[in-house]
Structure 1
Amino acid sequence: MKKKTTIYDIAAKLGLTAATVSRALNDNPKISKNTRQLVLDTAMEMNYEQNKVALALKSGKSYNVGVIVPRIDSNFFSSVIRGIEEELHPKGYHVIICQTNNQENIEIEKINSLLNVQVDGILMSISNANLEDNMGFNKLIRSKRTPLIFFDRKKDLKGVSSVTIDDFKGGYDATKHLIDQGCKRIAHLSNDRQFEIFNNRFLGYKQALLDNGIEFDESLVIETMSKVVEGRKSARALLDMDRPPDAIFSSSDFAALGALQEIKESGLEIPEDICIVGFSNEPFTKFMELTTISSVDQFPMEMGKVAAQVFLEEVSNTQDTKISKNIVLTPELIVRKSSLKHKER
């Protein structure tokens, strides 16, 4: 069996001390940039592999970070994960991805599992809107020094950082755009408003109506899961009303797609008869063959990168006072064929 390369082998080849090689490999600021690069290049040339277990024991870090999402099979969450990995991988961290399927018991199980393997931090988008009411979860977080960062779906917990977008602005801008297109009777496909993100999108929708002299009508708001089939059902219910809407703002692109399909099958034209705007800017919204879908872009890659940056700041904090941040990113409405009757001013 071929003998593994050690720091002593690298030191002997370069005429340096083993301590200098070790510091260079661990990015010690006391080592010059040129020396550090020389050591790294030589280590790669000699196929040197660091002992991760020994490094973790010495540093008190595992260099593993847990990421918990409700579901992996969505462009939004997969893009957030990509942003997190792109930010953390160059710093030597490995990402452990967990999926909860929106189930509270699985969520707690995943958190426990990650803490048991001593991850250096947990970045998560919650699947349970009443997470802070779970005594087990609160005890779990308070009994550990592991940083927790929420992204997208969050709860306001003391000492816990979060990275979200301005969902109120997203809902407001989408609705204002529909009003500017001449729409007067605008429906909203909401989601579970116990979640702050969906409630804020609803509040933005409602405020845009009121600011533009349109009376809010509760009957035009339908709670709809983020699924194509549910969007179809909700659209059918709206079309069956005595006074159907002339526009739909959906808190989900998938529900918006379902609504679009149902409306077209009913013989109506989009946007001539009914305008549609979704939320999340999923890839399919711009690749629809005939009717591309207007949507609010949440910039998931940026969200992931920023969440990772917050984690790095927290994990490197040497102060007794815990760092916590609540960062709100700005969304952007992407206007496409499904809502564009005429150019806005």
Structure 2
Amino acid sequence: MTVTISDIAVRVGVSHATVSRVLNSSGYVKDETREKVLKAIKDLNYTPSAIARSLSTSKTNTIGVIVPDINNLFFGEIIKGITEIADDNNLNIILCNTDENKNKELKAINVLKEQRIQGLIITPTFYRNSDNSENLNVLKNLGIPIILIDGHVEYLEFSGVFIDHIKGAYDGTLALIEAGHRKMAIITGDMKSRPAKERLLGYEKALEANNIPIDNENIFYGDYTQQTAYEITKKILKMDNRPTAIFVSSNTMILGCIKALYEEKINIPRDMAIIGFDKVDVLNIIGMNISFVNGPSTELGRIGMKMLLENLNSKEPRSIKRQTVLPELILKGSEKYIEKNENKINL
């Protein structure tokens, strides 16, 4: 049987309002009466309703988290970082996945609003769409702290934490150049997204800094999916004067690239060198040593959650704060250049 506030009130012989004041630590209650109420709560094993409490206080200890692709390890690790800090601060999380769909994102925002969340952490999908005004307006009118994780939007009213994608792609491309490559392809992400644009820019900057001409024939526009990366890699392999290396702009696309290379019996790095952006744990499990630029996703989650806590605990008006985190280049050998005529590795 569910125990209610009324049951406690009857047990102690006080009013419903008195029990509520004890539960919510609001209003005056005699110490003797408070002790009796607390004892009755313990004896009856009463558990307060979070929903009822939120209705009475207009506040919950819950935050919302919205990500575009929960199946992507990158976002899984962001969520891990968020929950680490949230758990330490007794905050609950409601997680929503949008599948890169603007309408699903709008629905998620409205659902979280109904749950009276204290704050929101979001990696937005809608920044890839030109018609994003409805989603943005709903966010702006939530009236709660909002933290972006690695996703700029048209408006700058939101704080956030971001990866330096330009540096990451620059360092990855530079590693290929320093290994001896001079003809390198890039498979970009969806060019409507900021990360894809910045990773392409980093690739181009590395070429320019090393006096290597930018060849548009080596720039292949992807969309962050395995299938598109697979198809693009097949095209690259059919080129008459094909590149000796490929910079792949996401962890999801690296799987499609590797699949195509495997089907064509292309050895990595002997026949084709590759570097990806963001790690893929399954490659380590199967012993495939693929070099990658590591976006510190778990740390992004931790920083984003700490930013949100600062906003929640601050008595001052919320100010816009943006932090950039540097990625790390992890070299495992797939970037190496092998002289075909000497059949040896140039280090």
Shift of 1:78: 1.2
Q: Specify which of 307, 324, 335 is matched with residue 310 of structure 1.
A: 307
Task: Report how far residue 73 of structure 1 moved.
Answer: 1.2
Q: CA–CA distance in 2 between the matches of 1:88 and 1:299?
A: 18
Q: Give 1:324's match in structure 2, choosing from 314, 320, 331.
A: 320
Counterparts in 2 of 1:31-50, with a 5 A limit? 49-50=47-48
Could you say if the C-alpha distance between residues 164 and 7 of structure 1 is closer, same or farther in structure 2, counting changes exceeding 3 Å?
Answer: farther
Q: Which residue of 2 aligns with 1:245?
A: 243
Task: Give the secondary-structure state (helix, strand or coil) at the position aligned to 2:334.
Answer: helix
- Report how far residue 199 of structure 1 moved: 0.8
- Whether the 8 Å CA contact 2:184–2:218 is kept in 1: the answer is yes
Which whole-Å CA distance do the structure 2 matches of 1:2 and 1:104 have between them? 41
Q: 1:66 aligns with which of 55, 61, 64?
A: 64
Q: Where does residue 269 of structure 1 map in the other structure?
A: 267
8 Å Cα contact 1:160-1:324 kept in structure 2: yes
Contact 2:129/2:192 (8 A) holds in 1: no
DSSP-derived class of the 2:117 partner? coil
Residue 297 (str. 1) matches residue 294 (str. 2): yes
Q: CA–CA distance in 1 between the matches of 2:163 and 2:92?
A: 26
What does 1:1-345 align with in structure 2 at a 5 Å threshold?
49-53=47-51, 55-57=53-55, 59-130=57-128, 133-289=131-287, 291-319=288-316, 321-341=317-337
Note closer, same or farther for the CA distance 1:168–1:136 as it changes in structure 2 (3 Å cut).
Answer: same
State how far apart, in whole Å, the 1-side matches of 2:91 and 2:102 are: 27
Deviations 1:83-122 (A, max 9, x none): 1111112322211111111111111111111112211111
TM normalised by structure 2 equals 0.82
The verdict on how the C-alpha distance between 1:133 and 1:105 changes in structure 2, with shifts beyond 3 A counting, is same
Q: What is residue 34 of structure 2 aligned with on the other side?
A: none
Report how many aligned residue pairs link the two structures: 321
Which stretch of the first structure deviates more once superposed, 301-310 or 53-62? Answer: 53-62
CA shift in 2, pair 1:239/1:59, >3 Å: same
In 2, distance between residues paired with 1:119 and 1:166? Answer: 30
State the secondary structure of the residue aligned to 2:127. coil
Partner Cα distance (1:117, 1:83) in 2: 23
Shift of 1:7: 11
Question: Could you say which residue in structure 1 is the equivalent of 2:341?
Answer: none
Largest Rg, 1 or 2: 2
Aligned-residue offset at 1:343: 8.2
Deviation at residue 161 of structure 1 after TM alignment? 0.9
Looking at structure 1, the residues matched to 247 and 124 of structure 2 have their Cα atoms a distance apart, in angstroms, of 24
CA gap of 1:49–1:177, structure 2 versus 1, over 3 A, is same
> CA 1:276–1:111 in structure 2 vs 1: closer, same or farther (change >3 Å)?
same
Find the aligned partners of 2:291 and 2:221 in 1 and give their Cα distance.
20
Q: Is the alpha carbon distance of 1:343 and 1:63 closer, same or farther for their aligned partners in structure 2, counting shifts above 3 Å?
A: farther
Output the CA distance in 1 between the equivalents of 2:195 and 2:145.
Answer: 22
> Which residue in the other structure is 1:13 paired with?
none
For 2:307, give the aligned amino acid. Answer: V
Deviation at 1:225, TM superposition (A): 2.8
Query: Cα distance 1:250–1:207, how it changes in 2: closer, same or farther (>3 A)?
Result: same
Q: Which runs of 5+ in 1 are unaligned?
A: 9-17, 27-42
Contact 1:132 1:157 in 2 (8 A): no
Instruction: Specify the alignment match of 2:30 in structure 1.
Output: none
Amino acid at match of 2:258: L
3-state DSSP class of the match of 1:338?
coil
- Displacement of 1:80 in angstroms is 0.8
Cα distance in 1, alignment partners of residues 276 and 85 from structure 2: 29
> For the residues of structure 1 that align with 2:57 and 2:346, how far apart are their CA atoms?
58
* Contact 2:190-2:224 at 8 Å conserved across structures: no
RMSD of aligned Cα (Å): 3.2
Amino acid at match of 1:314: N
